[in-house]
């Protein structure tokens, strides 16, 4: 490894030690049977078991940013007859609204502002006023502000 101090271009402010950079030089390819069966398949099974006890489901690991995963969910979990209420209180919520628009997904945007906590009564009112809404989408941790949204409410 050279002694150059390369930048690691990942989300969030972070630094990595030399040992982490050296470990990143090793390619853990997913087509390797030992790695795939011993690591990837085990992770997939555990994620599926966490999500459902029902048979016939699987999980797919995605390599990408959080926005990549959100786009994948919006693009695959909603059908052509569905409509999603997107609760937005930061950059990532706003990005979900933009993604839904670009993908042609029927949606209603509830913009709480940059630092406001979503109002459960306002969400109830939106849902009661529009019975075509079939799904709700909200970023659990709005990392631009550090806000943890109250998804359990």
How many helices (DSSP H) and strands (DSSP E) are in the chain? Answer: 6, 5
Q: Is 134 helix (H, G, I), strand (E, B) or coil?
A: coil
For CA atoms 22, 28, 29, 34, give the dihedral sign: positive
DSSP assignment of 25-52: TS---TT-HHHIIIIIHHHHHHHHHHH-
Residues 24 and 75 in one domain: no
Task: Give the number of domains in the chain.
Answer: 2
Please indicate, yes or no, whether residues 23 and 79 belong to a single structural domain of this protein. Answer: no
> What are the pLDDT tens digits along the chain (153 aa)?
455 555 555 655 567 788 877 877 776 665 667 777 778 888 999 999 999 988 999 998 888 888 898 999 999 999 999 999 999 999 999 999 999 999 999 999 999 998 889 999 999 999 999 999 999 999 888 888 888 888 888
Give the residue ranges of DSSP H helices in the chain. 18-23, 33-35, 41-51, 66-77, 91-102, 120-129
State the residue range of the domain holding 115: 66-148
């Amino acid at each position: 490894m050279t002694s150059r101090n390369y930048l690691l271009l990942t989300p969030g402010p972070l630094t990595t030690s030399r040992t982490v950079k050296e470990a990143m030089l090793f390619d853990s390819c997913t087509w390797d049977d030992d790695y795939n069966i011993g690591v990837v398949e085990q992770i997939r099974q555990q994620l599926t078991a966490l999500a459902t006890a029902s048979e016939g489901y699987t999980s797919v690991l995605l390599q990408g940013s959080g926005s990549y995963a959100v786009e994948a969910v919006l693009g695959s979990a909603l059908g052509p007859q569905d409509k999603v209420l997107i609760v937005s209180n930061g950059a990532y919520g706003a990005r979900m609204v933009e993604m839904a628009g670009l993908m042609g997904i029927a949606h209603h945007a509830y913009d709480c502002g940059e630092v406001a906590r979503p109002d459960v009564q306002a969400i109830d009112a939106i849902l009661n006023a529009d019975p075509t809404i079939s799904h709700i989408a909200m970023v659990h941790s709005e990392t631009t502000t550090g806000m943890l949204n109250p998804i359990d409410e």
